[in-house]
Protein backbone atom coordinates (compact mmCIF):
# COMPACT_ATOMS: atom_id res chain seq x y z
CA UNK A 1 0.00 0.00 0.00
CA UNK A 2 1.27 3.48 -0.85
CA UNK A 3 1.56 5.18 2.53
CA UNK A 4 2.18 8.88 2.05
CA UNK A 5 4.05 11.04 4.54
CA UNK A 6 2.33 12.78 7.42
CA UNK A 7 -0.14 15.43 6.27
CA UNK A 8 -0.13 14.32 2.63
CA UNK A 9 -3.34 12.98 1.16
CA UNK A 10 -4.19 12.14 -2.45
CA UNK A 11 -2.70 14.46 -5.07
CA UNK A 12 -6.17 15.24 -6.44
CA UNK A 13 -7.91 17.83 -4.18
CA UNK A 14 -11.42 16.88 -5.39
CA UNK A 15 -11.12 13.19 -4.48
CA UNK A 16 -13.42 12.10 -1.68
CA UNK A 17 -11.55 9.94 0.81
CA UNK A 18 -13.03 7.53 3.31
CA UNK A 19 -11.32 7.10 6.67
CA UNK A 20 -10.67 3.39 7.08
CA UNK A 21 -9.10 3.42 10.55
CA UNK A 22 -8.19 5.67 13.46
CA UNK A 23 -5.72 4.02 15.80
CA UNK A 24 -3.02 4.75 18.37
CA UNK A 25 -0.67 2.23 16.77
CA UNK A 26 2.40 3.96 15.32
CA UNK A 27 1.21 7.42 16.29
CA UNK A 28 3.31 9.93 18.29
CA UNK A 29 2.28 10.85 21.82
CA UNK A 30 -1.01 12.74 21.96
CA UNK A 31 -1.99 11.74 18.43
CA UNK A 32 -3.88 9.09 16.51
CA UNK A 33 -2.87 7.52 13.20
CA UNK A 34 -5.55 8.19 10.60
CA UNK A 35 -5.60 5.95 7.51
CA UNK A 36 -7.61 6.88 4.41
CA UNK A 37 -8.69 4.53 1.64
CA UNK A 38 -6.16 5.94 -0.84
CA UNK A 39 -3.28 4.81 1.39
CA UNK A 40 -2.77 8.18 3.05
CA UNK A 41 -1.49 8.25 6.63
CA UNK A 42 -1.92 11.31 8.80
CA UNK A 43 -1.20 11.94 12.46
CA UNK A 44 -3.86 14.06 14.14
CA UNK A 45 -4.18 15.20 17.74
CA UNK A 46 -7.11 14.02 19.83
CA UNK A 47 -8.55 17.54 19.93
CA UNK A 48 -8.33 17.83 16.12
CA UNK A 49 -10.06 14.47 15.62
CA UNK A 50 -12.86 15.56 17.93
CA UNK A 51 -13.15 19.04 16.37
CA UNK A 52 -13.48 17.73 12.81
CA UNK A 53 -15.35 14.52 13.67
CA UNK A 54 -12.70 12.30 12.12
CA UNK A 55 -13.75 8.70 12.60
CA UNK A 56 -13.76 5.39 10.81
CA UNK A 57 -16.16 5.59 7.86
CA UNK A 58 -16.23 9.39 7.65
CA UNK A 59 -15.53 11.13 4.32
CA UNK A 60 -13.32 14.14 3.50
CA UNK A 61 -12.08 15.73 0.32
CA UNK A 62 -8.35 15.23 -0.11
CA UNK A 63 -7.61 18.97 0.04
CA UNK A 64 -9.76 19.31 3.15
CA UNK A 65 -7.96 16.46 4.90
CA UNK A 66 -4.53 17.85 4.04
CA UNK A 67 -5.56 21.27 5.32
CA UNK A 68 -6.81 19.79 8.59
CA UNK A 69 -3.54 17.88 9.03
CA UNK A 70 -1.37 20.94 8.31
CA UNK A 71 -3.37 23.12 10.71
CA UNK A 72 -3.13 20.50 13.44
CA UNK A 73 0.59 20.02 12.87
CA UNK A 74 1.23 23.75 13.25
CA UNK A 75 -0.77 23.67 16.46
CA UNK A 76 1.24 20.75 17.86
CA UNK A 77 4.50 22.42 16.85
CA UNK A 78 3.48 25.62 18.63
CA UNK A 79 2.70 23.71 21.84
CA UNK A 80 6.04 21.90 21.75
CA UNK A 81 8.10 25.02 20.96
CA UNK A 82 6.29 26.97 23.67
CA UNK A 83 7.34 24.35 26.23
CA UNK A 84 10.94 24.51 25.00
CA UNK A 85 11.20 28.30 25.03
CA UNK A 86 9.70 28.56 28.49
CA UNK A 87 12.79 26.76 29.83
CA UNK A 88 15.66 27.85 27.57
CA UNK A 89 16.57 29.99 24.59
CA UNK A 90 17.52 28.08 21.45
CA UNK A 91 19.04 29.07 18.12
CA UNK A 92 16.86 28.41 15.09
CA UNK A 93 19.01 25.49 13.93
CA UNK A 94 18.53 23.64 17.23
CA UNK A 95 14.77 24.18 17.18
CA UNK A 96 14.67 22.93 13.59
CA UNK A 97 16.58 19.77 14.51
CA UNK A 98 14.36 19.09 17.53
CA UNK A 99 11.18 19.52 15.49
CA UNK A 100 12.35 17.36 12.60
CA UNK A 101 13.54 14.67 15.02
CA UNK A 102 10.01 14.55 16.44
CA UNK A 103 8.68 13.73 12.98
CA UNK A 104 7.14 17.06 12.01
CA UNK A 105 7.18 17.72 8.26
CA UNK A 106 9.96 19.93 6.93
CA UNK A 107 7.75 22.44 5.07
CA UNK A 108 5.54 23.12 8.09
CA UNK A 109 8.56 23.38 10.38
CA UNK A 110 10.25 25.93 8.10
CA UNK A 111 7.09 28.04 7.82
CA UNK A 112 6.66 27.98 11.59
CA UNK A 113 10.28 29.01 12.24
CA UNK A 114 9.92 31.91 9.80
CA UNK A 115 6.85 33.11 11.70
CA UNK A 116 8.73 32.82 15.02
CA UNK A 117 11.58 34.87 13.64
CA UNK A 118 9.26 37.58 12.29
CA UNK A 119 7.55 37.75 15.68
CA UNK A 120 10.92 38.18 17.39
CA UNK A 121 10.48 35.00 19.43
CA UNK A 122 13.72 33.51 18.11
CA UNK A 123 16.79 35.54 17.19
CA UNK A 124 20.10 33.80 16.55
CA UNK A 125 22.13 36.97 17.00
CA UNK A 126 20.46 37.81 20.32
CA UNK A 127 21.00 34.22 21.46
CA UNK A 128 24.68 34.40 20.44
CA UNK A 129 25.24 37.67 22.31
CA UNK A 130 23.59 36.27 25.43
CA UNK A 131 25.65 33.07 25.25
CA UNK A 132 28.93 34.95 24.73
CA UNK A 133 28.23 37.25 27.66
CA UNK A 134 27.44 34.30 29.92
CA UNK A 135 30.50 32.39 28.77
CA UNK A 136 32.82 35.36 29.29
CA UNK A 137 31.56 35.73 32.84
CA UNK A 138 31.74 32.07 33.84
CA UNK A 139 34.52 30.46 31.82
CA UNK A 140 35.99 32.83 29.24
CA UNK A 141 37.40 31.81 25.88
CA UNK A 142 39.40 33.61 23.25
CA UNK A 143 37.49 35.13 20.32
CA UNK A 144 38.70 32.28 18.10
CA UNK A 145 37.15 29.67 20.39
CA UNK A 146 33.99 31.70 20.95
CA UNK A 147 33.34 31.77 17.20
CA UNK A 148 33.99 28.05 16.90
CA UNK A 149 31.64 27.23 19.79
CA UNK A 150 28.86 29.36 18.32
CA UNK A 151 29.15 27.67 14.95
CA UNK A 152 29.04 24.28 16.71
CA UNK A 153 25.76 25.41 18.29
CA UNK A 154 24.34 26.03 14.83
CA UNK A 155 24.87 29.79 14.64
CA UNK A 156 25.70 31.00 11.14
CA UNK A 157 29.40 31.83 10.78
CA UNK A 158 28.67 35.40 9.69
CA UNK A 159 26.50 35.97 12.77
CA UNK A 160 29.16 34.43 15.02
CA UNK A 161 31.80 36.72 13.48
CA UNK A 162 29.66 39.81 13.96
CA UNK A 163 28.88 39.01 17.60
CA UNK A 164 32.43 38.06 18.63
CA UNK A 165 34.03 40.91 16.70
CA UNK A 166 31.89 43.35 18.65
CA UNK A 167 33.71 42.39 21.86
CA UNK A 168 36.11 45.09 22.97
CA UNK A 169 39.71 44.01 23.47
CA UNK A 170 39.63 45.26 27.06
CA UNK A 171 36.70 42.96 27.81
CA UNK A 172 38.56 39.97 26.40
CA UNK A 173 41.70 40.93 28.30
CA UNK A 174 39.90 41.49 31.62
CA UNK A 175 37.97 38.22 31.43
CA UNK A 176 41.15 36.30 30.60
CA UNK A 177 42.99 37.99 33.49
CA UNK A 178 40.17 37.09 35.90
CA UNK A 179 40.40 33.49 34.68
CA UNK A 180 44.18 33.49 35.22
CA UNK A 181 43.77 34.89 38.75
CA UNK A 182 41.29 32.13 39.52
CA UNK A 183 43.81 29.54 38.39
CA UNK A 184 46.50 31.17 40.53
CA UNK A 185 44.23 31.00 43.58
CA UNK A 186 43.80 27.30 42.88
CA UNK A 187 47.55 26.90 43.22
CA UNK A 188 48.59 26.60 39.59
CA UNK A 189 52.05 27.93 38.79
CA UNK A 190 52.83 30.39 36.00
CA UNK A 191 53.70 27.71 33.46
CA UNK A 192 50.41 25.88 33.96
CA UNK A 193 48.44 29.13 33.83
CA UNK A 194 50.19 29.98 30.55
CA UNK A 195 49.35 26.52 29.21
CA UNK A 196 45.66 26.89 30.10
CA UNK A 197 45.47 30.28 28.38
CA UNK A 198 47.27 28.93 25.33
CA UNK A 199 44.84 26.01 25.16
CA UNK A 200 42.01 28.54 24.95
CA UNK A 201 43.71 30.15 21.96
CA UNK A 202 44.52 33.48 23.58
CA UNK A 203 47.17 35.34 21.57
CA UNK A 204 50.77 35.27 22.76
CA UNK A 205 50.99 39.01 23.48
CA UNK A 206 47.87 38.90 25.65
CA UNK A 207 49.14 35.87 27.58
CA UNK A 208 52.44 37.65 28.15
CA UNK A 209 50.66 40.71 29.59
CA UNK A 210 48.46 38.58 31.84
CA UNK A 211 51.37 36.61 33.24
CA UNK A 212 53.24 39.84 33.94
CA UNK A 213 50.26 41.15 35.92
CA UNK A 214 49.96 37.85 37.81
CA UNK A 215 53.61 38.01 38.82
CA UNK A 216 53.39 41.64 39.93
Total domains in the chain come to 2
Reported as a single tens digit per residue, the pLDDT across 96-134 is 999 999 989 999 999 999 999 888 888 899 899 999 999
Domain shared by 20 and 83, yes or no: yes
Mean pLDDT along residues 196-216: 93
The angle, 0 to 180 degrees and rounded to 10, between the axes of the packed helices 92-101 and 106-118 is 150
Cβ atoms of 70 and 108 within 8 Å: the answer is yes
Q: Classify the C-alpha dihedral 192-195-200-206 as positive or negative.
A: positive
Reported as a single tens digit per residue, the pLDDT across 30-46 is 899 999 999 989 999 99
Domain shared by 147 and 104, yes or no: no
- Residue-range definition of the domain harbouring residue 151: 130-215
Residues 6+ apart with CB under 8 A from 11: 62
Domain shared by 53 and 87, yes or no: yes
Tell whether 6 is covered by a domain: no
Reported as a single tens digit per residue, the pLDDT across 174-186 is 999 999 999 999 9
What is the per-residue pLDDT for 36?
94
Amino acid sequence: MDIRKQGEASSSPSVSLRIVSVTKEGAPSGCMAVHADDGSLLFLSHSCIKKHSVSEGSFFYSKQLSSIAAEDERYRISLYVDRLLRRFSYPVSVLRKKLLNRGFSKDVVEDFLVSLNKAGLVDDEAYARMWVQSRMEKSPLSPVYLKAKLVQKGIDASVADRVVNSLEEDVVMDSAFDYAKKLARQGLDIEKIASRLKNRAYPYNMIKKILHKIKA
